[in-house]
Amino acid sequence: MRLDVVTIFPDYLAPLDLSLIGKARRDGILDVRVHDLRDFAHDRHRSVDDSPFGGGAGMVMTPGPWAAALDHVVASGPTEDAVVPHLVVPGPGGVPFTQALARRLAAEPWLAFACGRYEGIDERVYEHAQERMPVTVVSLGDYVLNGGEVAVLAMVEAVGRLLPGVVGNAESLVEESHEGGLLEYPVYTRPARWEDGGILREVPPVLLSGDHAAIAAWRHEQRVARTAARRPDLLPASATTGALEDLDVRVAVPADAAELLVLQRACWVREGLAARGRWVVPPLAEEHADVVAGLGEWTTWVARVRSGEGAPARLVGAVRGRPSPGDPATWEVGRLMVAPDLQGRGLGRALLELAESHAPEGTTGYRLTTGVLEDGNQRFYRRAGYRIAPGEPTYPGAVDLVKRRRR
């Protein structure tokens, strides 16, 4: 793969001489060429910036040197596999740089990187470049750097290490974070028993067992737990879809009431807004004491993400059930809630089935209530076999749904 980098700070890219990327260059796997933008600035001061049109702080990089530098790079090709490079321009407003993007770029024979500085590069340079080669503006992350060089160092390493022959055992590329969505498992090496200033720290025994199946299972569990604790947004659907075993599900106790109150307010706020004061939405009208009282009148289950080291286990879902006060053959289900950021992954369905499964012998049907304006919820319950109940709903602004219990 050929990589060209244009910058006003060539020394910033010196780390690419080191370690695996440095070796890959010496092994001819990577052909990295760094160009000094000032070599393409031909005024007395070799200036590459000027004050911004329209005013404002800082300076903007002028188009002339950039156009000349990029044309020089293109003209110094083609490589045997590409006529022009794919130009990657780091910028805080770019598309997020991810492992998936790194994999896509690693499949390209020729990449060029334009490192901006100051307040950025004159916008016409992007037009100039787009007329000659593919251009992608890429951001390393949602924070502000002073220039593109650091981003290029990270991108070249993330892309370069994916090329065959760069990382010794390609096997290790497989089980990494962001490959397959789960974070990596904790790693240990000798000594198995570490004397740390009077504290004996031991390696998890399973890792010393030689039982590879048990080790693989433990490592997967650690990856799910860590991901759930640190990056629930990465959790593949499978991790929360119906897979309650990935979660810590228990019968709620008064100590859970505070978090339950927070979760129910978060899950019913949209319904509350829709009501616009026309009716009371009970979960929003409750205080902590009401939630505690509810734990006495219903059996409530809480689902927590089994968190990794030390991180508190997050309450991500709940549901409750009880024999209907007026008709014990009917099992009432209520307060089904899933943290808004985890909805749509099947956890709600799993919790509904959990509550239904606890209906006692003799139960002939289920009954629950949801918001009359909550079309999504009503569709969800219909998909679970519920139908609108005849007659007046349990409370204003609601609709009751019932389902016969199948034997």
Binding site for ligand JD8 (CB under 6 A): 90-92, 94, 116-117, 119-120, 139-141, 143-148, 151
Nearer to ligand JD8, 23 or 128 (CB): 128
144 has binding-site annotation: yes
Nearer to ligand JD8, 4 or 248 (CB): 4
**Sign of the CA dihedral with 395 first, then 396, 397, and 401 last:** positive
Rounded to the nearest whole angstrom, what is the least distance from the CB of residue 16 to ligand JD8 in the complex? Answer: 17
3 has binding-site annotation: no
In angstroms, how far is CA 82 from the centroid of its own chain? 34
Nearer to ligand JD8, 151 or 224 (CB): 151
Nearer to ligand JD8, 144 or 213 (CB): 144
Rounded to the nearest whole angstrom, what is the least distance from the CB of residue 11 to ligand JD8 in the complex? Answer: 17
Rounded to the nearest whole angstrom, what is the least distance from the CB of residue 51 to ligand JD8 in the complex? Answer: 14
141 has binding-site annotation: yes
Rounded to the nearest whole angstrom, what is the least distance from the CB of residue 140 to ligand JD8 in the complex? Answer: 4
Nearer to ligand JD8, 117 or 314 (CB): 117
> Could you give the CA distance from residue 336 to residue 384 in angstroms, rounded to a whole number?
13
Nearer to ligand JD8, 90 or 397 (CB): 90
140 has binding-site annotation: yes
Closest CA to 74 of 26, 128, 152: 128
Rounded to the nearest whole angstrom, what is the least distance from the CB of residue 253 to ligand JD8 in the complex? Answer: 44
Rounded to the nearest whole angstrom, what is the least distance from the CB of residue 77 to ligand JD8 in the complex? Answer: 24
145 has binding-site annotation: yes
Rounded to the nearest whole angstrom, what is the least distance from the CB of residue 106 to ligand JD8 in the complex? Answer: 18
234 has binding-site annotation: no
Nearer to ligand JD8, 91 or 371 (CB): 91
Rounded to the nearest whole angstrom, what is the least distance from the CB of residue 352 to ligand JD8 in the complex? Answer: 42
H, E, C per residue of the chain: CEEEEEECCHHHHHHHHCHHHHHHHHCCCCEEEEEEHHHHCCCCCCCCEECCCCCCCCCEECHHHHHHHHHHHHHCCCCCCCCCCEEEEEEEEEEECCHHHHHHHHCCCEEEEECCCCCCECHHHHHHHHCCCCEEEEECCCCCCCCCHHHHHHHHHHHHCCCCCCCCCCHHHHCCCCCCCCCCCCCCCCCCEEEECCEEEECCHHHHCCCHHHHHHHHHHHHHHHHHHHCHHHCCHHHHCCCHHHEEEEECCHHHHHHHHHHHHHHHHHHHHHHCCCCCCHHHHCCHHHHHHHHHHCEEEEEEECCCCCCCCCEEEEEEEEEECCEEEEEEEEEEEECHHHCCCCHHHHHHHHHHHCCCCCCCEEEEEEECCCHHHHHHHHHCCCEECCCCCCCCCEEEEEEECCC
> Could you give the CA distance from residue 393 to residue 405 in angstroms, rounded to a whole number?
20
12 has binding-site annotation: no
Nearer to ligand JD8, 94 or 181 (CB): 94
Residues making up the annotated binding site are: 116, 140-145
Residues making up the annotated binding site for S-adenosyl-L-methionine are: 116, 140-145
